[in-house]
Amino acid sequence: MTQDISKSIDACAAFYGEDADAVRAYMTDGQKRALELPNRGPIKFTEDGELDPAIRQAYSDYGFYVFTNVLSDEELSDLRRDMDKMRGQFPAKPGGKEARDGSGPALGFGHKGLNLLWSKPLADPFGGTPLANGRHHVKLFEPDAGDDAPEAAPFLLVGSLQYSESCLRLYAHPQLLKVVESINGKDFAPFNEVLFIKDPFLGAAVSWHQDGDTHWEADNFDEDIHGFNFMGQLYGSTAVNGVWVVPGTHKLGRMDIKKMVAEAGSERLPDAVPIVSNPGDVVINNRQIVHGSFANTGFETRVSANFGFHKRSSVQDVKGAGIHAQAVVYTDDYIKERSAVIGYGINARKQRFPDETPYDYAPLAGEMDDYKFTPEVMDAIKEYNLKDLSI
């Protein structure tokens, strides 16, 4: 959040022992430098409907942009209400079959694919492991959560659109989809959707990494070839609980992150800044940028509703990387089937916010009557994420 977070920074630093002063200075300086960057403000378009050139340039320069006040109070309340409901449907522990609130089977129980991922409190579950094709090359510091901490804490909810109507509606936000069109073209394709959960004194770290696996050596490599993620902020993000990025690294190809950490002398990369945002802001974050997040040893919760998009040329007839879904070749039919959630989201949003002008998604032009949203749709899109377009 843009207000003073010195108490959270002090709480965070206390977990780092003899490095406490260095961590406090790093967090404080990072928060300050982040807020000085010229890459935040409301979404703006030209008269021709293109993303404002200054915004487009800032996103290109830094690899991320904070769109402020995107979500209305009404939409934010919907998202938080759904989040509270889903938390009640989480099992009490990993692998549990029953919802903790006694409402029935646990959320996602029996699904074929991944759904709710857990982590040891304040751990870095991916760092230094072969998970996700080994993209998390180093392990970040894992603070001691204390004897009172649970054995595991919810960390990542995969395929969030099948569990939350408000997430499905957010996915079809007309201004955000217009941003996608301006960057990826009218025929843009989906990627995947998750909820990142970082609760105070429990939330896991995510080691420094770059997303993307398929196109690093491509002849047509550019800064947008692996797509981007939006991060809708339900409660805001700070230097303590938020994602940190190294601006500009999205243009440099695959980075040697082990070398970067070694040269820094610690996991605190000197050129990195945190993504600082308020509730209702939506961040656009290039998947190729070096990014990560430290364990949440502060007082504020972060829940980010992530949803990403690709250029059609990046996925059309390309074999997937096999991280988010099975590695197959993405044909026209495959992409169209996976894009159905865009159609359902547009119609669901139209019903909830009838005064908005819905986004017109070109690949489904003339077919929107096939994507009318009813409560039964949530069952119809069950496990849609088994066809995520992972590159």
**Two structure tokens written together for 10:** 């002090």
pLDDT at residue 1, rounded to an integer: 47
Helix H or strand E encompassing 197: strand 189-198
pLDDT of 246 reads 98
CATH 2.40.10.10 given to domain 6-311:
no
pLDDT (tens digit, 9 = 90+) per residue, 241-292?
999 999 999 999 999 999 999 999 999 999 999 999 999 999 999 999 999 9
Contact 290, 208 (CB under 8 A): yes
DSSP 322: S
pLDDT, tens digit, 9 for 90 and up, residues 81-126: 999 999 999 999 999 999 999 999 999 998 988 899 999 999 999 9
Residue with tokens 């908005």: 356
* pLDDT (tens digit per residue) in 340-359: 999 999 999 999 999 999 99
**Helices of type H across the chain:** 6-13, 20-36, 53-62, 73-89, 131-134, 165-171, 174-184, 257-264, 312-315, 332-338, 340-352, 377-380
At residue 3, the pLDDT reads 56
Residues 234, 279: contact at Cβ < 8 Å?
A: yes
**What value does the mean pLDDT take over residues 180-200?**
97
Average pLDDT score, the chain: 96
Q: Distance between CA atoms of 55 and 244, rounded to whole angstroms?
A: 20
Q: Above 50 in pLDDT, residue 78? A: yes
Tens digits of residue pLDDT in 229-243: 999 999 999 999 999
Give the mean model confidence (pLDDT) for residues 130-135: 86
| Cβ 41 vs Cβ 55: under 8 Å | yes
Model confidence at 207, pLDDT cuts 50, 70, 90, reads: very high
Q: If pLDDT is split at 50, 70 and 90, which confidence band does 134 have?
A: confident
Tens digit of each residue's pLDDT (9 = 90 or more) over 294-335: 999 999 999 999 999 999 999 999 999 888 888 899 999 999
- pLDDT over 90, % of the chain: 94
User: What is the per-residue pLDDT for 391?
Assistant: 95
Please give the structure tokens belonging to residue 296. Answer: 């949440």
Better pLDDT: 113 or 44: 44
